[in-house]
Amino acid sequence: MVLERINLAKKQIIYVAALFMLGPTFLIPPAQEIGSYGWIALTISYMGFLLLFSLYRALLNLAPDKSLFEILQLAFGRWLGLAFSLFYLFYFVFLLTLIVANFADFIDSVVLIHTPELVITIFLVATAAYAVRKGFESIARISDIILYTSVSIAFLVFLFLIDKISLDVFRPVWPSSWSPIFKSSLSVFAFPFGETVVFLSIFNQLGKPQKTMPSLLWGSLIAFISLQLVTVRNVATLGEFVKYSSYPSYDVARLVDIGNVISRAEILISINFLGMGYIKATTMYYSFCSGVAELFKLKSYKHLVLPVGVLVSLSSLLSFKTTIQNLYFIAEIYPYFVFVPQVIIIALAYIVLRVRGKKVG
């Protein structure tokens, strides 16, 4: 397969990267299980991402015109590189399944509670499949509208709740035990910051590292600031209840009531979730299909879109029986499983190429 060139402006890459990292985390803010210390865990995890970003940049400087799969085969050889590539493809489709399951579970639980989850899942996957067949440029074209709308809504909800916010819940500022915070930081690092490894599979289609890497960094900064705003707002509004809420941002928005005129603001949070989650899902969808086509030298990825959609729909329906199982998996199991593709394999590939002492591509 001859990889298509994706013609995006730098700001579009920034928007896509920011929305990818925000995604479902805008609705399920990270580190909510540690309550008022969530902002600390989020800060630590972002510092970890900056180290990971430096690793990405160093790796792409060694192989600037190569995709993730080409880098793996250059570093580890044909067969081991193929095995690692297949592992990444499994991770991509697994993450896509998890995103769709989050979507469907939220809509089925709080928005369309009488609609069968099968119908919701089919509609979500079909919408994403249509966008992926149109190409990545069509996905990125609406990213600026979604980002501006989502951040504006989050800020408006913050302003509407200003009279209900109490900063006393953040006392004491210094935690008595750092163990839960470091554990939560690992979870936040894995979801969402470490998931940016997916961009290594398509960055060579977007342009040179000098264009793509600064855009990824700026996008991550926007995501970090936005997540901090949402995390602080939720804790300051809900207090200790934030630890036990399945969707704290949604519960916060339900408290908006200004003179019985402005209320039911939770629909705004739903719009946020659907918009940002759409960008994340379609990015993962495109990356998986184009990765399969590249690895197996197919002429095009587009004929893979429909069967992949069927696979993802079935997998998401069978993945979790309840919201609690979903949240438990994300917090307790997911961070340890994904540390291998997010960090370890990437670091090994860099070390091997660095030892060889020459630039490829």
CA atoms of 345 and 358, how far apart (whole Å): 19
Q: How many CB atoms lie within 10 A of CB 337?
A: 13
What's the pLDDT at 82?
95
Strand partners, 257: 263
CA atoms of 84 and 244, how far apart (whole Å): 38
Q: Where are the domains of the chain?
A: 10-356
What's the pLDDT at 264?
62
Per-residue pLDDT reduced to its tens digit, 271-305: 777 888 889 999 999 999 999 999 998 888 999 99
Residues in Cβ contact with 204 at an 8 Å cutoff, skipping those fewer than 6 apart: 3, 64, 65, 66, 67, 70
Apex CA 184: angle with CA 199 and CA 201, to 5°? 10
Residue among 40, 56, 67, 19 nearest 205 (CA):
67
Apex CA 31: angle with CA 26 and CA 35, to 5°? 110
Name the residue with tokens 């009279």.
163
Strand partners, 258: 262
Q: Are 52 and 343 in contact (CB under 8 A)?
A: yes
Apex CA 73: angle with CA 69 and CA 74, to 5°? 115
Cα-to-chain-centroid distance, residue 292: 21
Q: Is residue 134 predicted with pLDDT exceeding 80?
A: yes
Q: What type of residue sits at position 147?
A: L
- The fold of 10-356 is Amino acid/polyamine transporter I (1.20.1740)
Residue among 148, 150, 129 nearest 139 (CA):
129
What's the pLDDT at 263?
53
Q: Is residue 40 predicted with pLDDT exceeding 60?
A: yes
Apex CA 119: angle with CA 326 and CA 97, to 5°? 35
Per-residue pLDDT reduced to its tens digit, 83-128: 999 999 999 999 999 889 888 888 888 777 888 888 989 999 999 9
Q: What is the mean pLDDT of residues 320-340?
A: 80
pTM: 0.92
Helix or strand or coil: residue 219? helix
Arithmetic mean of pLDDT over the chain: 86
Per-residue pLDDT reduced to its tens digit, 143-182: 888 888 888 887 888 888 888 888 888 888 888 889 989 9
Of all residues in the chain, the percent with pLDDT exceeding 70 is: 94
CA atoms of 260 and 188, how far apart (whole Å): 37
Apex CA 109: angle with CA 107 and CA 114, to 5°? 85
Q: What is the mean pLDDT of residues 130-137?
A: 91
CA atoms of 89 and 41, how far apart (whole Å): 29
What's the pLDDT at 332?
78
What's the pLDDT at 200?
93
Q: Are 94 and 337 in contact (CB under 8 A)?
A: no
Q: What is the mean pLDDT of residues 246-272?
A: 71
What's the pLDDT at 130?
94
What's the pLDDT at 317?
86
